[in-house]
Amino acid sequence: MKTAEIAQRYLDYFEKNDHVIVPSASLVTDDPSLLFTVAGMVPFIPYLTGVVPAPYARAADVQKCIRTNDIEEVGKTARHGTFFQMLGNWSFGDYFKAGAIEYAWELLTSSESAGGLGFAERDLWVTVYEDDDEAADLWKRIAGLPDERIQRFGKEDNYWSTGQPGPAGPCSEIYFDRGPAYGPDGGPAVDDSRFTEIWNLVFMQYAITNVRSKTDFDVIGELPQKNIDTGMGLERVAFIKQGVDNMYETDQVRPVLDLAVALSGRTYGAVHDDDVRFRVVADHVRSSLMLLSDGVRPSNEGRGYILRRLMRRTVRAMRLLGVDAPTFRELFAASRDAMAPAYPILATDYDRLESAAVAEEETFLRTLAAGSTILDLAVAETKGAGKDQIAGSEAFLLHDTYGFPIDLTLEIAEEAGLSVDRTAFDALMQEQRQRAKADAKSRKRAIADHSVYREFRALGETTFTGYTDLETESRILGVLVDGVSVDRATTGQIAEVIVAETALYAESGGQVADKGIIVGPGYQLDVIDVQKPVPGLVSHTVEVTSGEVAVGLAATTIVDAANRRAAAQAHSATHLVHAALRDTLGSSATQAGSLNRAGYLRFDFAWTQALSPETKSEIEEIANNAVRENLQVTTRVLALDDAKELGAMALFGEKYGDTVRMVDIGGPWSRELCGGTHVATSAEVGLINLVGESSVGAANRRVEALVGADAFRELAAERAIVSQLTSSLKTPRDQLPARIAELAANLKAAEKKIASLQAKALGEQVPDLVAGARRVGALTVVAANLGRAGSADDVRAVALTVRERLGSDAGVVALGADVGDRPVVIVATTESARSLGIKAGPLAKAAATTLGGGGGGRDDLAQGGGTDASALPRALDDVVTALPRA
């Protein structure tokens, strides 16, 4: 049974049983405590906790998930995968334990011909919470399970909570017996490899507080509304139904594994370590593809860092399998073909996804080359110092700064006959993890505070009137100070205010929040920020500038009209620039993020190379032509599917409901789904001035533009600069580029001549430097400050000449100079000095320490530098002091 068929059977079964089928939410979650949707219940948290009223009594879904906390286990076990799909059915105050158990048992054990999954009853075991006699009795009555196939576990295994005060409850897990070939008999209590968990039924029935740990908390009592939250692992069911040993061999994953086998020329099933690497490739390629499809881009932080790590682990695994050449083009295409039947967007948008993947691979292959060079130097220095172990700090630097995998560092070190100080490396990694955990805890605290919004959200959604009105009368529903609901706030306090209706736009869709005020009887509030802390609820962060604001008072929200108009100009200009980009570059140049504020827009788009000046001018001209044509800007609210049929662009990383707002500028020329504020006609944008274009990743570019009055002011400033230049240089405007180029060439020639004269002057010091040599123990030493120099290369040339003049003497040359207001010290040693154990590298480091910088190099020639040029005399003295006197 194919994976997609299992999912469809699940949805069909629950739809037949009156469940609303809910589409999968994005892998990118709104929850600030999480980077990704890590479990099927994440999108339903607002409904399960009661913060947002559930729009349906019962639902079912297939949810995409990403979980990377067990990334090191990927490929080693049958069930660990970073991307997985969770089948879930949900009840919000509707059916409870009996219903959940009846549905699960019927779907699992009904024959395939009847639409079920066809599991044999004898192969199924269950676990329940140790005190949940009700669940145990229901399993006996509904499923006819004997006592020996119902096992009881404690809170660690069979009790669910968010880890925060709120809803919680016991759970019951269903296990499949894979047979004696996979381990001993005796149920999941004996062996959880043979007995594989496939479905978890959570009975959310209690409210808890004072949560001290996962297993230590206080139960307040029963919830007024009891919920059901279930999760069945689609990949786990698939590998059982397909008769394979693990999730990597199922139909949605195996094609990538088989291609990796073919590319490597090795055999799957022959060598354990190779098998793990094949599985890592299969898993990580699929996970990366799915993350890319939800708008994540490789980067060095947050979600992008996780994606980058998955991709780089893939490259590393292929390298360890003997493949150094690029492979992403083939591997990602294989994953697309396997997953597209379930997720058609993978096929329709594949060019964009492939471009990002291939660009990241190319970048990492260059990183590997650079990292190998750095590592080669570390190997040489380690051997040169007579050591057999590379410092853990070096390995961590390679891993953390350059993205160079530790496994590869270990491999190269071993080939060189060295080891790596893993204790120090692991300690540094642990420090990094602790910092990450602290950050995660701070994010978790932020989401925990969202329970304070429950009572306000229960009153209904905040009505936004700002599309048509700049002032709206309402009333104060809530006041929060320091995250705590209070009845009032007084002059000077910073507070959050919640009203029933607002004209103020909450930050979303790339558009920043409105500026404005809220006034009422006896008080005025300056609006600092406007956000949506939970879906459907708008919260205004304000400073009470006069009087006292209290719950129940009348309130009028007033938008700063000039700021709103400028922000609307910028947002409409963003749509025009997007359309112009697609006109110029093609449909693959899709938006990957934006920021719109008064007078300014920033627009990221999928593209792999810098735009030429001609292309930027063309984009700017197309966008401004649209402004001059005074195109009508219209908005419509319609069903999501209807909007897509009309060609509206749904932008990646944005989340849409069943009903959407579509913004047209000039009809279909620019048609996007957008909740932002816009001008009425394109002429109101005024002017668009592209002021910047840069890279924001391997496959993403960014354009920046000024809009309206800000664009005019920028052009006026540039005109003033041109006027100044024409006057100062006494050159007509159209001849300015040639005149400036001529002056730049003259300046460069002059600088080159000065550098030549400086180098000559330095060279003329050689005889005096040699004559001034002194004896330090058995060494002939030349240590001198040359003054100002054109470059470090000039200083190095003098040092080498002086060293040559010392002939066969055991000599050390240490020359310092001020190069562009930064100190440089060059140390050179003769062969005779090196035979006495004198090395240039440590001497250069000693000088650099005094200069406030770093240094090093070969035994015969090294360089140090820093920031304090006045310390050059002391630095040279330190070199001499470091020399042996005997």
Q: Which residues pair with 864 in a beta bridge?
A: 825, 855
Token readout for 578 is 């997007």
- Measured CA to CA, the distance from residue 306 to residue 287 in angstroms comes to 10
Say if residues 162 and 125 touch (Cβ distance below 8 Å).
Answer: no
Say if residues 190 and 252 touch (Cβ distance below 8 Å).
Answer: no
- Measured CA to CA, the distance from residue 622 to residue 140 in angstroms comes to 71
Amino acid identity at 501:
E
Output the CA–CA distances (angstroms, integers) from residue 633 to 576, 630, 678, 734, in the order listed: 11, 9, 8, 39
Q: Label residues 770-805 b or e (16+ Cβ within 10 Å = b).
A: beebeeeeebbbbbbbbeebbebebbbbbbebbbeb
- As annotated, the binding site includes 571, 575, 674, 678
Say if residues 267 and 261 touch (Cβ distance below 8 Å).
Answer: yes
Say which residues have a Cβ less than 8 Å from residue 715's Cβ, sequence separation at least 6. 687, 689
Output the CA–CA distances (angstroms, integers) from residue 128 to 103, 106, 592, in the order listed: 17, 19, 46
Query: Of the candidates 870, 871, 872, 876, which has an alpha carbon nearest to the alpha carbon of residue 812?
Result: 876
Q: Which residues pair with 638 in a beta bridge?
A: 660
**Alpha-helix residue ranges (DSSP H) falling in 385-457:** 392-402, 406-415, 422-448, 454-457
Output the CA–CA distances (angstroms, integers) from residue 802 to 387, 840, 861, 877, in the order listed: 32, 15, 13, 18
Query: Of the candidates 689, 716, 713, which has an alpha carbon nearest to the alpha carbon of residue 703?
Result: 689
Per-residue DSSP letters for 153-174? E-HHHHEEE-SSSEEEEEEEEE
Q: Label residues 57-94 b or e (16+ Cβ within 10 Å = b).
A: ebbbbbbbbbbbeebeebbeebbbbbbbbbbbbbbbbb
Question: At what angle are helices 792-805 and 736-763 packed, to 10 degrees?
Answer: 20
Say which residues have a Cβ less than 8 Å from residue 748's Cβ, sequence separation at least 6. none
- As annotated, the binding site for Zn(2+) includes 571, 575, 674, 678
- Measured CA to CA, the distance from residue 52 to residue 29 in angstroms comes to 16
The single-letter DSSP state of residue 68 is: -
- Measured CA to CA, the distance from residue 291 to residue 300 in angstroms comes to 15
Tell me the chain's radius of gyration from C-alpha atoms.
34
At residue 634's C-alpha, the angle toward residues 633 and 639, to 5°, is 145
The single-letter DSSP state of residue 866 is: -
CB burial of residue 560 (10 Å; 0-12, 13-18, 19+): middle
CA 689 to chain CA centroid, Å, is: 30
Query: Of the candidates 16, 14, 35, 13, which has an alpha carbon nearest to the alpha carbon of residue 26?
Result: 35
Say if residues 326 and 378 touch (Cβ distance below 8 Å).
Answer: no
- Measured CA to CA, the distance from residue 860 to residue 875 in angstroms comes to 19
Query: Of the candidates 611, 561, 574, which has an alpha carbon nearest to the alpha carbon of residue 706?
Result: 574
User: CA neighbours within 13 Å on the CB side: how many for 641?
Assistant: 1
